[in-house]
A and B are shown apart, each in its own frame.
Chain A
Amino acid sequence: MVSSTHKEIIRCQNIAKDIRKTIIDVIYQTKGPHLGSSFSIVDILVTLYFKILVIDPKNPYKKNRDIFILSKGHAVPALYPILAKKGFFSDKLLKSFAIDNCIFEQHPNRDVAKGIEVTTGSLGNGLSIGAGLALAAKYDKSKRRVFVLLGDGELDEGSNWEAALFASHHKLDNLIAIVDYNKLQILGTVDKVLGLEPLAKKWQSFGWETKELNGHNFQQMINALSHLPFKKGKPNIIIAHTIKGKGVSFMENQLVWHSKCPNKEEYKKAIEELS
């Protein structure tokens, strides 16, 4: 067990707070959607980008770098500020989001120089692409690891389960999937729309080594991701229990914040809470 120092955890928490403020700023200005989904994954992204991923913003094309795929591409408002903070581009570029002639759309487009490895936005594609990258890394005897962040609603897509079968059959222990399990999808709760339980058992039965944890607890996430693979010869999956809208009390677990953009009052209140 790796015990990150208190100082490190505080640093992650502070980064996450800053990122949430930037997300709400950007979304408020552009009247865009997906605030709740973005807040849900902030802590996972902070853990990956500031503690786990072997990447170099100064050398974004570096051979054998780790790869991160945001398969739930609609949560990209959380990724752009992370990439800026990591040093892939200047904070100023974040203003070029979701406006005419912008750099950043509401779903990510591949731009390795800016840290975006794969175009996503249509759900259910990231895990297969990740498996292909992981397979190629094995073939090349590369130490590369491939991380794929999936939405829980996204798991309704059958293609994920094709990839799940493939990854365990080919022993892709360099592939790490993380499910952002916030239990809400566009039209209702996950259990009402299309239930996933028993989710961990499903992945186990597909041959994946599974861990369940709190997707807002940095210590738990750092501990889990610091020892990869979980088991030699098996693909890894973390089922991260999260809260949609995490960080702003009146947005948490509220379905409406999947698509809603805050009004002036809500924006102010949210900023107050995040400060």
Chain B
Amino acid sequence: MRITFIKILKEAARKNKDIFLLTADLGTFFGDFIKDCPKQFIDVGIAESNMIGLAAGMALAKKNVYCYSIIPFLTMRPLEQIKVGLCAHNLNVKLLGAGGGFAYGLEGMTHHAIEDIAIMRSLPNMTVVAPGDLLEAEAIAKESINYKGPLYVRFGQDKTPNIHKNSTKIKIGKGIIINKGNKIALIATGSMLSSAKIVCDNLIRQGISTTLISMHTIKPLDVNLIKKILRHKAIFTIEEHSIIGGLGGAVAETLLELNYKGLFKRIGLPDEYSCYKGSHDYLCKKYCLTPETIINQILKFNKKYDFKK
């Protein structure tokens, strides 16, 4: 997914010499970008706070700057530089974060990113997106070039099946209905999109009319789309992020204000640093974020709410 994004960025950078890619000494896949646009690539060293400050200065000088690192180092180490340098000045700087959720599983909690969406979406002027497949990554990459203001792009695992058939409807700030049903709605973001698709297909096979939404943009949240699913009996958000303040938090805030009367549940990670040690798949299993475990979490409510009726 990152590779797809950078490929598109490279094509844009070849034509637009004001595009810059900064990295805090991470990203072994920048070879083509460096080869084609050597003067527009800067490895700033392992110094993320300075990277964000530099990006702010460069953007004040009309440069279009992309900053790359692993999410905790990109978003949390220099949080105040992001707040003052990027958000207060409302600058055209894009933060490209690798390793959403447990993508860096065995690297441990320092590399896990379970709080980033909550933190980034609380910053005024910041847009927060998490592409769910390659087509979303591609479309967001293209749109990011002329996007105004700071943008945070959260990448999950690299290998993700395509869920969309084409990219025509993919636009920052607009969620996408992938399947339309009328009993329960699943709203997924980023790395959970493919699992949510499997869940959706399975529930449909069981006779439950299921809506699936890809909410690749968490801020600004597509409230109009949420208004369209208020008649569903139940709404579930699915994300590889803490249930505090991420997609689930954002949707919960909206549903309460819209006076939603059905069942609402956030499916995500609990408020803790992983007490398990293992790969991405292992940790997702342990924290009930595999398609099977998500289905179980949803069907737990079937007896009370009878999703088939």
Contact = CB atoms under 8 A, between A and B. Distances in A.
Nearest to A140: B61
Q: Is the interface of B mostly helix, strand, loop or mixed?
A: helix
A117 B60 contact: yes
Q: Is the interface of A mostly helix, strand, loop or mixed?
A: helix
Contact of A129 (B42, B47, B57, B62): B57
Nearest to A169: B45
Contacts of B39: 139
What is the size category of the interface that chain B forms with chain A? 20 to 34
Interface string A96-139: 00000000000001100000011111101101111111111101
A162 B61 contact: no
A165 interface: yes
Contacts of B204: none
A159 interface: yes
Nearest to A158: B49
Interface of A: 109-110, 117-122, 124-125, 127-137, 139-140, 146, 158-159, 162-163, 165-166, 169
Nearest to A142: B61
B23 interface: no
B278 interface: no
Given A125-B53, A128-B54, A163-B54, 14 more contacts: A110-B89, A117-B60, A124-B49, A129-B56, A129-B60, A131-B53, A132-B60, A133-B60, A136-B61, A139-B39, A139-B63, A159-B53, A162-B47, A163-B53
A121 B61 contact: no
5 contacts: A127-B53, A129-B54, A129-B57, A136-B62, A165-B47
Nearest to A164: B50
B45 A165 contact: yes
Nearest to A127: B53
Nearest to A163: B50
Given A119-B84, A122-B84, A125-B85, A136 B53 contact: no
Contacts of B85: 125, 128-129
